[in-house]
Amino acid sequence: MTRKKAAVIVFVLLLLMAGGGIVSGEDTASNVIRDIRFSEAESFTRIVVECESEISYTRNFIQFPDRLYFDFENTDPATFFQKEILVDDDTVSTIRIGKQDSGVSRVVIGLKSYSDFNIYSLEDPHRLVIDINKGTSSIEEFMPKGRVVVIDPGHGGRDPGAIGRRGIQEKDIVLDIAKQLKKILETKYAVKVFLTRDDDRYLELKERTDFANRHNADLFVSVHINASRDRDTKGIETWFLNIPSSEYDKKVAARENAISEEKMKESQTEVGFILTSLGRELKKEESIRLAHYVQNSLINNMRKKYKRRIDDHGVKYTLFYVLVGADMPAVLIESGFISNPSEELLLKKSTYRKDIAHSIAKGINSYLSTLPDLPKLARR
- Where on the chain is the footprint of Zn ion (CB under 5 A)? 154, 161, 224, 256
Q: What is the largest CA-CA distance in the chain?
A: 75
Q: Are 84 and 94 in contact (CB under 8 A)?
A: yes
Residues 6+ apart with CB under 8 A from 351: none
Q: Which is nearer to Zn ion, 80 or 320 (CB)?
A: 320
The secondary structure of 230-280 as a DSSP string is: STT---EEEEEES---SHHHHHHHHHHHTS-HHHHHHHHHHHHHHHHHTT-
What's the closest the beta carbon of residue 58 comes to Zn ion, in angstroms? 24
161: CB partners within 8 A, 6+ apart: 154, 155, 169, 170, 171, 174, 224, 225
To Zn ion, the closest distance from the beta carbon of 324 in angstroms equals 16
Least distance from Zn ion to the Cβ atom of residue 226, Å: 8
Identity of the residue, 161 or 336, whose beta carbon is nearer to Zn ion in the bound complex: 161
Smallest distance, Zn ion to C-beta of residue 252, A: 9
Q: Please identify, using beta-carbon distances, which residue of 104 and 178 lies nearer to Zn ion.
A: 178
Looking at beta carbons only, is 154 or 325 nearer to Zn ion? 154
Report the alpha-carbon distance of residue 323 to residue 241 in Å, rounded.
6
For residues 53 and 30, the answer to whether their CB atoms sit within 8 Å is yes
Closest residue to bound Zn ion by CB? 224
How far apart, in whole angstroms, are the C-alpha atoms of residue 185 and residue 191?
5
Which residues sit opposite 67 in a β-bridge? 62, 110
d(CA 298, CA 301): 5
User: Minimum Å distance from CB 63 to Zn ion?
Assistant: 38
Nearer to Zn ion, 108 or 195 (CB): 195
Closest contact distance (angstroms) between CB of 182 and Zn ion is: 18
Residue closer to Zn ion by CB (options 110, 161) is 161
